[in-house]
Amino acid sequence: MRILLVGAGGVGDAIVKIAAERDFFELMVVSDYDVSRAEASIAWVANKYGAEKAQRFVADKIDASSAANVAEVAKVHGITHILNAVEPKFVPTVFSGAFTAGVHYMDMALSLSEPHETDPYHLPGIKLGDSQFALNEQWKRAGKLALVGMGVEPGLSNVFARYAAEHLFSEIDEISTKDGGNLVVRDDAGNEIFAPSFSIWTTIEECLNPPVIYERDKGWFTTEPFSEPEIFEFPEDIGSVECVNVEHEEITMLPRTIDARRVTFKYGLGSEFIDVLKTLHKLGLDATKPVRVRSAQGPVDVAPRDLVAAVLPDPAKIGPRMEGKTCAGVLVTGKDQDGRDRATYIYHVADNAWTMENYEAQCVVWQTAFNPLIALELMASGVWAGEGVLGADSFDAKPFLDLMASSTGYKQRWVAQERLPASPLRKP
């Protein structure tokens, strides 16, 4: 397996550091528009594991906005699999470049949505991933697999949902992804600051777009941002966090493969974070269309959202200032295999102190990074195989979870925690 990693930002850097411990691939080309970032990741591997380990990694420059350039870099290096680790706005070009190059493809976020033109808070427009799933037959005919949404959420959450459907439940009322944590970022004086732990570009997209919900009787529909607030008790001393509906890939992916009455995604943002996002929206600073700005060097065109991203701390560099844990999980409710009411929260927790000590990567990007590597390793061994555009929920969950937790695998504990079922549960 010869992998082209597109993007050496926070997640890409963590992927390189984790991949250095595995031996399932022959070569990983670490590419970025700023090749020095790719070189820095490889240098970290050489420093920690030695030059021999680093020999399997090569740095190269790439333009993720050009499908032709992605295909060209893939062909130069004899690539078999492209792993897309750049922002979702580049999904169309990297996805297309992989198809042109005739290689397998994987990403961690789906192609972007577009709100309904006339009724955005009731009806979906173009949903997340629609443009990729529309090309399923084309990828099938080419005999190639595009494994989409293979990060932590989506990705690991899809694996958890598939495991629940196959091994824990006979009937599923709701699959609700619950993401939350108790992370804090501080400045040099120890004061807590606003510093998103993931790309603010992506965060704005997820949180300010109309959230999508799926119900068996209604199909997909939308609501107002931050709707249906609830307090959810996260495990391992994270505690109670207010969670709200946000737009997320699981809602467009899981109903394609798993029979559930309802599918939702709720994010534990916190009141301050929500207030900041609402303010950005009111000021138009969430817009992606460039506006003309006067500067000392003359007029320039700047997308407001790109400006926000530029002035906030880089998520890849805030690890030393961060403390706390992040939890990714799926709460599944319904009937167990004996027909009794059941509620199970299946989750994984990453502690920033541990990820920084072992990988010099903050916990949110690190928790995202190990999942595509597990999937690639299963593909390399032939355990996961397929053609077309598919999500992780299309594959057997148990080999993934076994490799994830194994002492010879990725040594990451996952937990199926029983919760008290709501009474009465929703009926199909």
pLDDT at 425 over 60: no
Decide which of 310 and 102 is more confident.
102
- Find, among 139, 124, 161, 339, the residue nearest to 255 by Cα: 161
Average pLDDT, stretch 218-237? 94
pLDDT at 413 over 60: yes
Q: Exposed e or buried b for every residue in 295-327, given b needs 16+ CB within 10 A?
A: eeeeeeeebbbeebbeebbebbebbebbbbbbb
Q: Which two tokens stand for residue 22?
A: 């595995």
pLDDT at 428 over 60: no
pLDDT at 337 over 50: yes
Residues 264, 238: one domain? yes
pLDDT at 377 over 70: yes
Residues of the chain with pLDDT > 70, as a percent, come to 98
Q: What digits encode the pLDDT tens for the residues 71-121?
A: 999 999 999 999 999 999 999 999 999 999 999 999 999 999 999 999 999
| CA 106 – CA 119 distance, rounded (Å) | 33
Residues 303, 397: one domain? no
Q: How much is the pLDDT for 422?
A: 67
In a domain, 428, yes or no: no
Residues 241, 328: one domain? yes
Question: What is the CATH classification number for the domain harbouring 243?
Answer: 3.30.360.10
Q: Of 128-142, 154-168, 302-316, where does mean pLDDT reach its minimum?
A: 302-316
Residues 220, 322: one domain? yes
Q: How much is the pLDDT for 424?
A: 40
Residues 171, 303: one domain? yes
Please tell me whether the peptide bond between 372 and the residue prior to it is cis, using omega within 30 degrees of 0.
no
Q: How many domains does the chain have?
A: 2
Q: Which element (helix H / strand E) includes 145?
A: strand 145-147
Question: What is the CATH classification number for the domain harbouring 22?
Answer: 3.40.50.720
Classify 46 as helix, strand or coil: helix
- Find, among 353, 350, 349, 348, the residue nearest to 322 by Cα: 353
| CA 207 – CA 212 distance, rounded (Å) | 11
Q: Crossing angle, helix 397-405 and helix 363-381, to 10 degrees?
A: 120
Q: What is the largest CA-CA distance in the chain?
A: 71
Q: How much is the pLDDT for 391?
A: 98
- Find, among 352, 345, 312, the residue nearest to 330 by Cα: 345
In a domain, 427, yes or no: no
Residues 322, 375: one domain? no
pLDDT at 423 over 50: no
Residues 138, 44: one domain? yes
Average pLDDT, stretch 292-303? 83
Residues 90, 227: one domain? no
In a domain, 425, yes or no: no
Q: What is the CA radius of gyration of the chain?
A: 21
Residues 377, 358: one domain? no
Residues 129, 68: one domain? yes
In a domain, 139, yes or no: yes
Contact predicate 262/426, CB 8 Å = yes
Residues 81, 190: one domain? no
Residues 318, 350: one domain? yes
Decide which of 295 and 276 is more confident.
276
Average pLDDT, stretch 223-248? 93
Average pLDDT value for the chain: 93
The three-state DSSP-derived secondary structure of 58-121 is EEEECCCCCHHHHHHHHHHCCCCEEEECCCHHHHHHHHHHHHHHCCEEEECCCCCCECCCCCCC
| CA 126 – CA 352 distance, rounded (Å) | 36
Q: How much is the pLDDT for 318?
A: 76
Strand ranges, E, within 205-259: 212-215, 219-222, 230-234, 239-245
Decide which of 56 and 425 is more confident.
56
In a domain, 424, yes or no: no
Residue 257: which domain range? 156-365+413-419
Q: How much is the pLDDT for 427?
A: 36
Q: How much is the pLDDT for 66?
A: 98
